A and B are shown apart, each in its own frame.
Chain A
Amino acid sequence: DQQVKQNSPSLSVQEGRISILNCDYTNSMFDYFLWYKKYPAEGPTFLISISSIKDKNEDGRFTVFLNKSAKHLSLHIVPSQPGDSAVYFCAASEETGANNLFFGTGTRLTVIP
């Protein structure tokens, strides 16, 4: 039973435009959310995170939005660059317990020059 879902397996965006990656979750106990970026043959790399007490967190070109009532978060990348082409994983964690991360299945972003 997958608690974190990324329903779009792929996304293509023109360079310079905005990329929006979406993520939904079902577990209301999740209170910390992260986005990871993964290149082929490498491990996931932490990108940006957000606590459930916030609805927005921004870091340079990357902004994560959280809508707790809808159990939905999104990652905005603007402007998109060819180097952003990778697989993006959404992950969530409960405050208590083992600090385990529950991952979505990823969205492959392709930024077209």
Chain B
Amino acid sequence: DTAVSQTPKYLVTQMGNDKSIKCEQNLGHDTMYWYKQDSKKFLKIMFSYNNKELIINETVPNRFSPKSPDKAHLNLHINSLELGDSAVYFCASSLRLAGARSYEQYFGPGTRLTVT
């Protein structure tokens, strides 16, 4: 009955590898997001995506790419991993309806990525 789930919870890999993190939500939301929390605990948006559009934060390297097989899933693919990619990655979702609740995002538990 988990609302937003991510796998894996921990991921340790070597520089240069390609890896994916999966995210699934069962809330019926239509918009999903990826955030990166760096070593300074700063949570920063990477992508937001719904059926119609992908909005990319311009500071995100193009080695990062989101892939959405359906509305309930938004996976994050990372190519040629670098040491600086080590962080905690959070997936989130929301429902983009008019009104106050459209801004409330529900977060997954996070994936701690360590690049060695």
The contact string, 1 if C-beta is below 8 Å from chain B, for chain A 33-50, is 010100001111110010
Task: Report the bound CA distance from A46 to B94 in whole Å.
Answer: 11
Q: Pick the contact of A99 from B31, B107, B109 — CB < 8 Å?
A: B31
The reply to whether B109 and A42 contact each other, CB–CB distance below 8 Å, is: yes
The A-B contact count (CB < 8 A) is 59
Task: Report the bound CA distance from A102 to B45 in whole Å.
Answer: 7
Interface size for chain B: under 10, 10 to 19, 20 to 34, or 35 or more residues? 20 to 34
Q: Pick the contact of B90 from A34, A44, A49 — CB < 8 Å?
A: A44
The chain B residue with its CB closest to the CB of A106 is B41
The contact string, 1 if C-beta is below 8 Å from chain B, for chain A 98-113, is 1111110110000000
Task: Report the bound CA distance from A46 to B86 in whole Å.
Answer: 25
Q: Which residues of B from 82 to 96 have beta carbons under 8 Å from A?
A: 90, 92, 94, 96
Measured between beta carbons, the chain A residues less than 8 angstroms from B96 are 99
The chain A residue with its CB closest to the CB of B90 is A43
Measured between beta carbons, the chain A residues less than 8 angstroms from B116 are none
Task: Report the bound CA distance from A97 to B35 in whole Å.
Answer: 17
A101/B45 contact (C-beta < 8 A), A34-B103, A44-B107 known: yes
Task: Report the bound CA distance from A47 to B32 in whole Å.
Answer: 19
The reply to whether A49 and B43 contact each other, CB–CB distance below 8 Å, is: no
The chain B residue with its CB closest to the CB of A102 is B45
> Is residue A85 contacting chain B, with contact meaning CB distance below 8 A?
no
Task: Report the bound CA distance from A44 to B40 in whole Å.
Answer: 16
Q: What are 30 A-B contacts with C-beta separation under 8 Å?
A: A2-B42, A34-B103, A36-B107, A42-B109, A43-B4, A43-B90, A43-B92, A43-B107, A43-B110, A44-B43, A46-B104, A46-B105, A46-B106, A49-B100, A51-B100, A89-B43, A98-B48, A99-B31, A99-B96, A99-B102, A99-B103, A100-B45, A100-B55, A100-B57, A101-B45, A101-B105, A102-B45, A103-B42, A105-B42, A106-B41
